[in-house]
């Protein structure tokens, strides 16, 4: 299944996250509205953000601020991504409403272009859907009417792409022979030789460069014995492969570099991800005590009974629990808030002090602190939800459980967001409490969104278990996307064929409620070297992904 593309417009990405909380019939309606809008936009024009939101959701927020303008060319691509994301969460038949879906491979053959070209078209506004075919498997495809419209709107683009021809075997051999001669006579690098040959044969530089690279990778006597410097694209690819659990030795062979170089590139990329993070924290006086770390981070409620970021929650049970929840114990609340701010401050300080070539141990300490901070934040959000839900119910004039399912999802999602903002802002030195701050900020958020009494509408009735919210805490911190274990992988830990690997992964990510552990802590606990433990984690990562892939297929 093709990798999900990333949003380039933050507002559309956030809209998608909110819409995924809606029930299937509402998601389908929003998906269809986004598809219609994408077909009507002119990529050369810009569009107000509130206009786009209104066209998709029929909701226009009241605001005195000047509307944000979205670039049409980027917006068209993001709307196509939005449709894909929403369709993936639905069950769409490949034949419905008089439409028939065409697989990506078949589109490429029909237009006489490559699969990569189709992927570019998706970013340029070719709206595709994840649909279920007769074999019961969900695949990415494009409905025939959408494809026909895209072709009619982009005849020049498709005509030029269809004229592209692959390099024949005879031409490829000639290019390789000439490259060998250029290197022998002029000592040109692979990239420079590719640049000259690309002009001669009227091909893209990357096409010739890839051709020569493939040859040298397979040849017993490669033309260019040394690979050039790693590019930023190489670094990103290496890091992603590392994150997937690919062994360093495999990457070293693939990029013709030493293991030391690969490890250095990975660490530099990890630092590159960490440096832009906003780790603002409340400067509590207690954080400056000499024994702050041992006392604050050693408290029982800070190292155990944390939230392991549930993959799903039952909305009605959360509301019911909020109705009977007692006020959070002040001492525990203060301990958690102090620990959260201390971890963020420590991570921020360590990031500022990162060397140009950072060590893996320092990076692991920062990343573990951030995982730990997220778990503590999730606990505090959970403790603040009753106050946020109470504010919602006061505005509605009745229980949130009696609202339509779509409203329940959206308002609970808003509660988590607002509670997270409240947690980050609480200043214990000023006597602020979690419940009061959450309630106040929720009131302000509801007033901005003009949420009013719903007593004039008939109350909705729902059964327990009928409104499930997926990954409710998956986006409460920006670093989770690359530091947390993917939610869909967590359920496969019990299926690992090596019980010890399961325990290692559980302790590494704090699954079960204990604080996450650094690699050296795991190594000490299991009497391994740090390198052996790192390899064990990579092995577990690979196994979990394979188990997930088998299930998806």
Pair (206, 146) in one structural domain = no
Range of the domain at 201: 169-218
Pair (393, 506) in one structural domain = no
* 298 exposure class (CB count in 10 Å sphere: 0-12, 13-18, 19+): exposed
CB 307 within 8 A of CB 461: no
Of 145, 162, 179, the position where a domain reaches its end is 162
User: Does the residue 5 lie in any domain?
Assistant: no
Percentage of the chain beyond pLDDT 70 is: 95
Rounded to the nearest 10 degrees, the angle between the axes of helix 405-425 and helix 434-448 is 130
Tens digits of residue pLDDT in 389-448: 999 999 999 999 999 998 899 999 999 999 999 999 999 989 899 999 999 999 999 988
Residue 208, Cβ neighbours under 10 Å: how many?
Answer: 25
- For the cut 60, the answer to whether the pLDDT of residue 139 exceeds it is yes
Number of domains into which the chain is organized: 5
User: Does the residue 514 lie in any domain?
Assistant: yes
Which of the 8 DSSP states describes residue 95?
A: E
User: Does the residue 227 lie in any domain?
Assistant: no
- Containing 96, the helix (H) or strand (E) segment is strand 95-96
Question: Token pair for residue 56?
Answer: 């998709």
Pair (116, 154) in one structural domain = yes
User: Does the residue 1 lie in any domain?
Assistant: no
Question: In this predicted structure, what is the pLDDT of residue 342?
Answer: 96
Pair (184, 151) in one structural domain = no
User: Does the residue 52 lie in any domain?
Assistant: yes
Question: In this predicted structure, what is the pLDDT of residue 425?
Answer: 92
Cα–Cα distance measured from residue 303 to residue 159, given in angstroms and rounded to the nearest whole number:
62
Pair (93, 210) in one structural domain = no
User: Does the residue 4 lie in any domain?
Assistant: no
- For the cut 80, the answer to whether the pLDDT of residue 30 exceeds it is yes
Place of tokens 């200043």: 427
Q: Model pTM?
A: 0.65
Question: In this predicted structure, what is the pLDDT of residue 64?
Answer: 52
Cα–Cα distance measured from residue 236 to residue 326, given in angstroms and rounded to the nearest whole number:
48
Residue 34, Cβ neighbours under 10 Å: how many?
Answer: 28
- Containing 314, the helix (H) or strand (E) segment is strand 312-314
Q: 142 has which bridge partners?
A: 102
User: Does the residue 319 lie in any domain?
Assistant: yes
Pair (296, 336) in one structural domain = yes
Pair (377, 504) in one structural domain = no
Pair (201, 332) in one structural domain = no
Which of the 8 DSSP states describes residue 9?
A: S
Tally of CA atoms within 13 A in the half-sphere of 365 that contains its CB: 13
Pair (333, 294) in one structural domain = yes
Cα–Cα distance measured from residue 535 to residue 374, given in angstroms and rounded to the nearest whole number:
25
Place of tokens 């302790």: 507
Task: pLDDT band for 62, please (50, 70, 90 cuts).
Answer: low
Of 99, 186, 180, nearest in space to 145 by CA: 99
Chain centre distance of CA 14: 12
Which residues lie below 8 Å from residue 300, measured CB to CB, with a gap of 6+?
Answer: none
The CATH number for 506's domain is: 1.10.10.10
Of 477, 496, 531, the position where a domain reaches its end is 477
Pair (318, 467) in one structural domain = yes
Question: In this predicted structure, what is the pLDDT of residue 3?
Answer: 59
Cα–Cα distance measured from residue 330 to residue 433, given in angstroms and rounded to the nearest whole number:
8
User: Does the residue 226 lie in any domain?
Assistant: no
Cα–Cα distance measured from residue 510 to residue 409, given in angstroms and rounded to the nearest whole number:
27
b/e per residue 497-516 (b: at least 16 CB within 10 A): eeeebbbbbbbbbbbeeebb
Pair (173, 147) in one structural domain = no
Cα–Cα distance measured from residue 260 to residue 61, given in angstroms and rounded to the nearest whole number:
53
Question: In this predicted structure, what is the pLDDT of residue 502?
Answer: 94
Pair (445, 504) in one structural domain = no
Percentage of the chain beyond pLDDT 90 is: 52
* 250 exposure class (CB count in 10 Å sphere: 0-12, 13-18, 19+): exposed
């Amino acid at each position: 299944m093709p990798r999900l593309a990333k949003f380039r417009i933050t507002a559309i990405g956030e809209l998608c996250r909110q819409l995924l909380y809606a029930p299937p019939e509402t998601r389908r309606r929003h998906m269809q509205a986004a598809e219609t809008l994408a077909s009507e936009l002119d990529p050369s024009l810009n569009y107000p953000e509130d206009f786009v939101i209104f066209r998709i959701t029929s909701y226009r927020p009241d605001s005195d601020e000047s509307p944000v303008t979205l670039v049409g060319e980027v917006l068209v691509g993001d709307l196509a991504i939005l449709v894909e994301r929403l369709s993936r969460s639905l069950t769409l038949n490949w034949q419905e409403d008089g439409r028939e879906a065409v697989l990506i491979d078949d589109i490429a053959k029909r237009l006489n272009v490559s699969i990569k070209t189709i992927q570019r078209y998706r970013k340029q506004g070719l709206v595709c859907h994840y649909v279920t075919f007769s074999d019961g498997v969900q695949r990415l495809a494009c409905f025939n009417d959408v494809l026909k419209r895209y072709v009619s709107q982009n005849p020049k683009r498709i005509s030029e792409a269809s004229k592209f021809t692959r390099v024949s075997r005879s031409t490829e051999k000639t290019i390789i022979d000439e490259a060998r001669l250029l290197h022998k006579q002029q000592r040109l690098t692979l990239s420079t030789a590719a640049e000259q040959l690309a002009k001669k044969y009227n091909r893209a530089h990357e096409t010739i460069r890839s051709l020569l690279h493939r040859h040298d990778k397979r040849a017993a006597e490669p033309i260019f014995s040394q690979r050039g410097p790693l590019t930023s694209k190489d670094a990103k690819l290496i890091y992603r492969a590392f994150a997937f659990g690919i062994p360093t030795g495999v990457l070293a062979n693939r990029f013709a570099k030493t293991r030391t170089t690969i490890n250095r590139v990975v660490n530099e990329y990890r630092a590159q991800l960490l440096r832009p993070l906003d780790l603002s924290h409340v400067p509590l006086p207690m954080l400056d005590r000499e024994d702050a770390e041992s006392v604050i981070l050693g408290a029982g409620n800070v190292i155990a009974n944390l939230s392991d970021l549930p993959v799903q929650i039952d909305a009605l049970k959360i509301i019911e629990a909020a109705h009977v929840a007692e006020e959070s114990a002040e001492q525990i609340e203060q301990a958690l808030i102090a620990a959260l701010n201390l971890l963020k401050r420590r991570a921020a300080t360590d990031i500022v002090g990162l060397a140009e070539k950072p060590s893996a141990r320092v990076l692991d300490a920062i990343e573990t602190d951030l995982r730990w901070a997220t778990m503590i934040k999730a606990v505090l959000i959970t403790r603040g939800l009753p106050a946020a839900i109470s504010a919602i119910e006061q505005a509605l004039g009745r229980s949130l459980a009696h609202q339509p399912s779509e409203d329940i999802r959206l308002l609970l999602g808003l509660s988590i967001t607002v509670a997270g903002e409240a947690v980050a802002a609480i200043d214990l030195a000023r006597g602020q409490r979690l419940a009061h701050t959450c309630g106040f900020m929720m009131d302000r958020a509801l007033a901005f969104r003009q949420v009013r009494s719903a007593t004039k509408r008939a109350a909705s009735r729902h059964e327990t278990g009928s409104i499930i919210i997926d990954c409710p805490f998956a986006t409460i911190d920006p670093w989770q996307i690359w530091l947390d274990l993917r939610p869909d992988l967590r359920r496969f830990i019990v299926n690992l064929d090596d019980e010890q690997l399961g325990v290692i992964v559980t302790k590494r990510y704090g699954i079960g409620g204990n604080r996450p552990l650094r690699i050296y802590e795991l190594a000490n606990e299991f009497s391994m070297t740090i390198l052996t433990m790192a390899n064990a984690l990579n092995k577990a990562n690979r196994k979990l992904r394979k188990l997930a892939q088998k299930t998806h297929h």
